[in-house]
Homo-oligomer: A and B are copies of this chain.
Amino acid sequence: MSTALDKMFRPRSVALVGASDRSPWSRLVHANFSRIGFEGNVHLVNRRGADAHGQSAVKSCRDLPEVPDLAYIFVPNEGVAEAVEDTSAAGIRNAMILTSGYAETGTDGDSAQVALVQRARDAGLRVLGPNSLGFINYADRIPVSPTPLMHDWLSGPVAIVSQSGATTQVIASFAQQQGIGLSYAIATGNEADVSSADVLDFLADEPQTRVIAMFAETINDPPAFRQAAQRARANGKPVIVLKVGRSELASKLAQAHTGSVTGDDRIFDAVCRQDGIIRVGSIEELVTTAGLFAQGGPIDGGVAIVSISGGACEIMADVAVDVGLSLPQFAPETVEKLQGCIASYGGTLNPMDITGAAVVDPSLFETVLRIVSDDPAIGVAACVYDLPRGETDYLHEAALRHIGNGLRAGRRPGFLVNQALRPVTAASRGLMEDLGIPAVIGGVDLAVRAFAAAERWSRTTASALAKPMTADTPSERPSSEREALDYLEKKGVRIPPRAFALTAGEAVAAWRAMGSPVVLKVASPAILHKSDIGGVRLNLNDEAAIVTAFGEIIAAAKSAYPGAPIEGCLVLPMREPGLEMFVGTAQSAWGPVIAAGLGGVWIEALADTSLRLLPITDADALAMLSELRGARVLDGYRGQTAADRDALAAAIRTIGDAALALGSDLVSLEVNPLRARGADVEALDALAIWGDP
């Protein structure tokens, strides 16, 4: 697949199908080729074979002197089918379709799109679009797009992928404004055939691209997307995504303790966490974060911040706490060196305010940056100052030169941080070169967010291991509570001793054998919510009570579910109070997911669950626990024994593995409660729900 897309995005010849002086799309596309100076051949095709844009045209792709690598089709909607036929008949293997009027318009358009793609596939043609504004290949200077090109043309390592053509253009334009060079800007449109995942997969290997910035409305092929993202990560390429659709979150959270815990957006968050995808909230953050990686690569350690502005230090400290950026305090040797060179009223904290003393003596910038860059905990040095947009003066020039020297001196990447967001103009870039400023990012708010993302990405990617994504071939199908508990026990989850009683007499015998108060629960594969119908009785500790309870339970079950198979009762020992967790799995478009949260009273008050895609590691499960808003409850409250987080995490991971092993017909496996007292973690109830095989 990558090979095919290589020809699509790096074509040496292109046919423009629908070329016409009267079509604004045709004019715009052709003008871009003229302006940019494409080195390959651009062929014009239209039904009448009429000249266009001062160049001759042919009636059919079959009349062309060569087989182009790519056809860009922008004929009117009713002519698309014929154009696709003609294109494939000419032996062309890659087409992009600009024409709209397909799935984006509703049901009829959707049918037309399905038919179109089927025809293309049958003819061996790969299609980007329809409704695609095409792409710009900055590295090889190939603009197959009607998007009017901006004045700047900065090529570099950042690739942009977006379903929305308008948004592709906005992101590209903002990146150029910020002085960030691009490899590709690709608009995937309706993704009828080639999806964002396919493009991501192509970029994971594409040599000009080191950073991938995406805007996504929906992810059309979740498994392929995950695989491509994992490949990009394995190749050391960060994937940064602005995905819309968060606002469905509120309504989905409301169902958080049912089988559909799994609002799509929260699952996408879990995917990002597990696959090292950096999720951002705005176009500005997307581009700033990409720019950080483009200029600085991975970060091995925390960030040292140096500024003459106390205000900037304070803003950055606040945002750092908000977004979890590590600002390590300096080592004693570093502090000692700093004290040797700064005035008494400057501090040695990080962020470090070197005060207006640096206005009087700008070499202080260099001295301090050299010292902090050598601190063992520091992975990147950041100096807050403003990079001029135009010409500068002698005062700033001296400061900037010393800052450049200081930032370049360390073993670590160094960034100048603009205080507020400002363009990095051609003049700015000239100054950077003249004065030796290695990299620039800003303003302080976006910079801290980007540093936090880069630090986290670098740390987790270094330790990431590819995990198997396939389930065992399922060999069993536990259904009742009894079977579900037996199955979980076999898989390694601790379950209390229990007995199955067909009669009240057997229940009494089980109680005697257990030697402690017991719980009776109705046993019936038909009854999922036993408590609601009076099917559970707690804390029974004498023969008469057990006999009465057994009879009442069976009667209540028969009354609530007439005709259902009522097998008897499960007998379990009554447990002391402990922390109650909820653990449940569900299927999703992304594959099986697992949710864990505080059970009992907590879940109703907080709707507080953590999500992950399965499988998970013990470390994933530990992270899930720490993400809970009510996590402090785990550490004991009101004198209750704390839950052992390792034991709890192991149980959660084991439940996840057990669910995965049951295959994709399992709709949900739920343990509620999973009871924890210290390291004593037991599943007290379980429920398996199956779909049609």
Interface string of A202-221 (1 = CB under 8 A from B): 00000000000001010000
B244→A420 contact, CB < 8 A: no
Contact across chains for A24 and B360 when beta carbons are under 8 A apart: yes
B105 x A315 contact (CB < 8 A): no
Please measure, in the bound complex, the distance between the C-alpha atom of A444 and the C-alpha atom of B282, giving whole angstroms: 8
Shortest CB-to-CB span from A668 to chain B, Å, is 23
Is A282's CB under 8 angstroms from B630's CB?
A: no
- Which A residues, 378 to 432, have Cβ-Cβ distances below 8 Å to chain B? 386, 390, 393, 395, 419-423
| Shortest CB distance A293–B (Å) | 19
| A47-84 at interface with B (beta carbon < 8 Å) | none
Instruction: Tell whether A166 pairs with B310 under 8 Å between CB atoms, given A106-B345, A317-B244, A421-B284.
Output: yes
Q: How far is the CB of A664 from chain B (nearest CB, A)?
A: 31
Please name the residue on chain B nearest to A422 by beta carbon: B177
- CB contacts (< 8 Å) of A513 on chain B: these are none
> How far is it, in angstroms, between the C-alpha of A317 and the C-alpha of B393 when the chains are bound?
44
Whether B420 contacts A311 by the Cβ 8 Å rule is no
Q: Is the CB of A322 within 8 A of B246?
A: yes
Q: Which B residue sits closest to A449, measured CB to CB?
A: B282
Q: Is A466 an interface residue (CB 8 A)?
A: no
Residues of B within 8 Å of A174, CB to CB, are: 419-422, 443
A359 to B169, CA, bound (A): 15
Complex alpha-carbon distance, A104 and B344, angstroms: 11
Shortest CB distance A180–B (Å):
12
Q: For the complex, what is the distance from the CA of A278 to the CA of B177, rounded to whole Å?
A: 30
Q: How many residues from A make CB contacts under 8 Å with B?
A: 76
Count chain B CB atoms within 10 A of each CB in A173, A287, A420, A443 and give the residue with the most.
A420
Whether, in the assembled complex, A320 has its beta carbon less than 8 Å from a beta carbon of chain B, the answer is yes
Decide if A284 touches B445 in the complex (CB within 8 Å): yes
Is residue A605 within 8 Å, beta carbon to beta carbon, of the partner chain? Answer: yes
Q: Which of A486-494, A552-560, A585-593, A632-640 contacts B (4 or more CB under 8 A)?
A: A632-640
Cross-interface CB contact of A245 among B151, B242, B314, B359, cutoff 8 Å: B314
Contact B100 A443 (CB under 8 A): no
Contacts of A164 in B (CB 8 A): 309-311
Chain B residues, CB < 8 A from A359: 24
Q: In the complex, A321 Cα to B251 Cα: how many Å?
A: 11
* Known pairs A174-B422, A320-B247, A445-B281; A217 contacts B311 (CB<8 A): yes
Taking a contact as CB atoms under 8 Å apart, the answer to whether A105 and B244 are in contact is: no
A-B contacts, 5 of them at CB < 8 A, read A170-B309, A177-B420, A245-B318, A287-B420, A604-B638
Since A167-B419, A244-B314 are in contact, a sample of 19 more A-B pairs with Cβ atoms closer than 8 Å, ordered by chain A residue number, is A100-B356, A109-B345, A166-B309, A166-B312, A167-B309, A170-B420, A215-B311, A244-B311, A244-B317, A245-B314, A245-B318, A247-B320, A281-B445, A282-B445, A283-B419, A283-B445, A284-B421, A602-B605, A604-B637
Give 9 nearest A-B pairs by CB, closest first. Answer: A167-B311, A164-B311, A166-B309, A244-B314, A282-B445, A247-B321, A105-B345, A174-B420, A170-B419
